[in-house]
């Protein structure tokens, strides 16, 4: 036995027996009741709300309201009984996982802020975490990556964050699409990102287009321009014909592929 445990009953007995009962009561009060195991505490010795120290684990406990078990308070050898203080801080860092409520209600996020309860973080579904602002989903994170919800902008602010440039998805998308960037920058100034029609982007000469030129005071674009040297392999898109204004030089080691059903005309 640790300090002492008593049922706090002074039985009618001889003088010495009564004195020993009183002594046991005082020792129990002094030690707030202590034993090496919860099971050593007989139910007859317990009342709801009493404190108890498990001397094996050094965990201070309190008897539950049903008087049939103990609820842990904390470790008496640790600062703040091993509990996270309300003020937080580096003096009492958490050493285990933080489990939040797994509600899927975006209007009551599990992690939120005092005075701004409609801003926070919540679990949207299994393995899906969502940031919410003004009760609206803003950013979804799951095993596929990060998604800006609700046609939200991807913004890049200037040095003092007073203005930004951004990208935004169209209002309606028929089929989801991901573009894959090239693995390095272009070595040819002026090249642009072009798609292979399947979402794979690469660096290539920008396609020719009508530029400049006016006639009779109008703004009609009547001139077409293209580069003179092919510096990267290119395949004419199946089912399409291509044209260029020559002369055209195909750089050594570079291949232009023209399928059996396509043509490339140089004029």
Task: Say if CB 110 and CB 123 are below 8 A apart.
Answer: yes
Angle at alpha carbon of residue 154, lines to 151 and 160, rounded to 5° = 135
> d(Cα 250, Cα 229) in Å, to the nearest integer?
6
Written as six digits, the tokens of 217 are 């005071």
Give domain status of residue 245, yes or no. Answer: yes
Whether 182 is in a domain gets the answer no
199 & 256 share domain? yes
CA-derived radius of gyration, the chain: 38
pLDDT tens for each residue of 12-56: 888 898 988 888 887 776 556 778 888 877 777 787 888 888 999
- Which range marks the domain in which residue 123 is found? 99-154
Whether 58 and 109 map to the same domain: the answer is no
Whether 169 is in a domain gets the answer: no
pTM as predicted:
0.59
Which pair of structure tokens corresponds to residue 138? 């803003």
Of 48, 82, 116, which residue sits at a domain end? 82
Q: Are 52 and 41 in contact (CB under 8 A)?
A: yes
Do 103 and 55 lie in one domain? The reply is no
> pLDDT of 212-242, one tens digit each?
444 444 555 567 778 899 988 888 888 889 9
In a domain, 159, yes or no: no
For 81-112, write each residue's pLDDT tens digit. 988 888 888 888 888 899 999 999 999 999 99
Q: Residue 128: inside a domain, yes or no?
A: yes
In a shared domain, residues 50 and 107: no
* Domain count within the chain: 3
């Amino acid at each position: 036995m640790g300090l002492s445990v008593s049922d706090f009953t002074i039985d009618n007995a001889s003088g010495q027996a009564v004195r020993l009962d009183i002594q046991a009561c005082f020792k129990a009060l002094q030690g707030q009741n202590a034993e090496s195991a919860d099971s050593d505490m007989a139910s007859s010795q317990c009342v709801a709300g009493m404190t108890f120290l498990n001397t094996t684990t050094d965990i201070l406990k309190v008897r539950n309201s049903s008087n049939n078990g103990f609820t842990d308070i904390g470790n008496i050898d640790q600062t703040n009984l091993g509990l996270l203080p309300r003020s937080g801080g580096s003096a009492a860092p958490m050493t285990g996982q933080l489990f939040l409520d797994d509600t899927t209600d975006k209007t009551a996020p599990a992690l939120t802020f005092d005075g701004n309860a409609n801003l926070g973080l919540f679990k949207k579904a299994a393995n899906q975490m969502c940031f919410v602002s003004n009760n609206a989903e803003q950013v979804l994170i799951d095993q596929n990556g990060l998604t800006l919800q609700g046609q939200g902008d991807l913004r890049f602010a200037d040095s003092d964050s007073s203005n930004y440039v951004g990208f935004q998805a169209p209002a309606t998308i028929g089929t989801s699409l991901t573009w894959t960037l090239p693995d390095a920058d272009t070595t040819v100034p002026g090249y642009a990102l072009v798609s292979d029609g399947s979402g794979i982007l690469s660096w290539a000469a920008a396609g020719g287009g009508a530029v400049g030129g006016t006639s009779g005071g109008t703004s009609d674009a009547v001139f077409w321009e293209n580069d003179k040297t092919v510096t990267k392999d290119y395949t004419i898109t199946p089912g399409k014909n291509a044209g260029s204004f020559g002369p055209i030089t195909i750089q050594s080691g570079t291949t232009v592929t023209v399928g059996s059903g396509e043509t490339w005309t140089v004029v």
